[in-house]
Amino acid sequence: DVYRRDEIDRCHYPVFHQMEGVKVFEAGTGGDVIEEDLKRTLEGVTKEIFGEVEMRWNDDYFPFTSPSFELEIFFNGEWLEVLGCGVIQTKIIENAGLKQPGWAFGLGLERLAMVLFEIPDIRLFWSKDPRFIDQFKSGEIIKFKPFSKYPSSIRDISFWTGSQNFHANDFSEIVRNCISEDIIESVELIDEFVHPKTKEVSNCFRFTYRSMERSLTNEEIDKVHFKVRERAVDELGVVLR
């Protein structure tokens, strides 16, 4: 199991499961050779799992590899990251008592299942709703059949960030800590404005509230939304607009 701060949308969740792998080479093998082998191998793995899908590589950062990359596939009309990887840093190899260089990768199992079973929202994996759970059988790939969706409710929060150190993932962490169940479908930055004189930065985030299992009341949504506003001010030093 892995936990990390992350953005809030249908493809991200702070808790997920990851499969990892490592390949080592003979001592002295060049980094270019390792990188080429990494991409060729993982593209092959991706095609074996997902079929002939459109793929793209992006440069990324991971603390134990350099260079680092993420591999995305085009799924449900948007790009979905399925794995992160890179050439293992020399210090990591040496700390393990080895001399052989190599590469490593991590594959998110929920993302894999979302594509194979055509599941549109990662929150469903934590649902106890029998309409979801009873659709699947061990050892079989069964396409998910959507059941009735409960209505969504939209709220916005706009504030001056007040600091060059503001990071959207810190804000997402506050949002997650304000809810006791998964009632937020997404939090999206819809506007960013830089004041021409003061150079202060204003962000506007749009919240989509929707439960996977029941209808939400305006009262409970407003209660959570107000709590997010308060904690953003107290913990991040933002100034509400």
Taking only the tens place, the pLDDT of each residue in 156-192 is 999 999 867 888 889 999 998 988 788 998 999 999 9
Confidence of residue 12 (pLDDT cuts 50, 70, 90): confident
Question: Given pLDDT bands bounded at 50, 70 and 90, which one contains residue 241?
Answer: very high
pLDDT in tens, 90-112: 999 999 888 899 999 999 899 88
First to last CA, the chain: 39
Task: Look at residues 209, 200, 195, 206 and name the one whose alpha carbon lies nearest to residue 150.
Answer: 209
Q: Is the pLDDT of residue 5 over 70?
A: no
Question: Which pLDDT does position 189 carry in this prediction?
Answer: 94
Model-level pTM?
0.63
**SS3 annotation, the chain:** CEECCCCCECCECCEECEEEEEEECCCCCCHHHHHHHHHHHHHHHHHHHHCCCCEEEEEEEECCEEEEEEEEEEECCEEEEEEEEEEECHHHHHHCCCCCCEEEEEEEHHHHHHHHHCCCCHHHHHCCCHHHHCCCCCCCCCCCCCCCCCCCEEEEEEEECCCCCCCHHHHHHHHHHCCCCCCEEEEEEEEEEECCCCCCEEEEEEEEECCCCCCCCHHHHHHHHHHHHHHHHHHHCCEEC
Average pLDDT over residues 128-133: 87
Residue 61 in contact with residue 82, Cβ under 8 Å? no
Is the model's pLDDT at 6 over the cut of 80?
Answer: no
pLDDT for 3: 57
| pLDDT at residue 149 is higher than 70 | yes
- Structure-token pair, residue 93: 């190899």
Which pair of tokens denotes residue 192? 């960013």
How confident is residue 67, by pLDDT bands cut at 50, 70 and 90? very high
Q: Higher-confidence residue: 146 or 72?
A: 72
> Over pLDDT 70: what percentage of the chain?
96
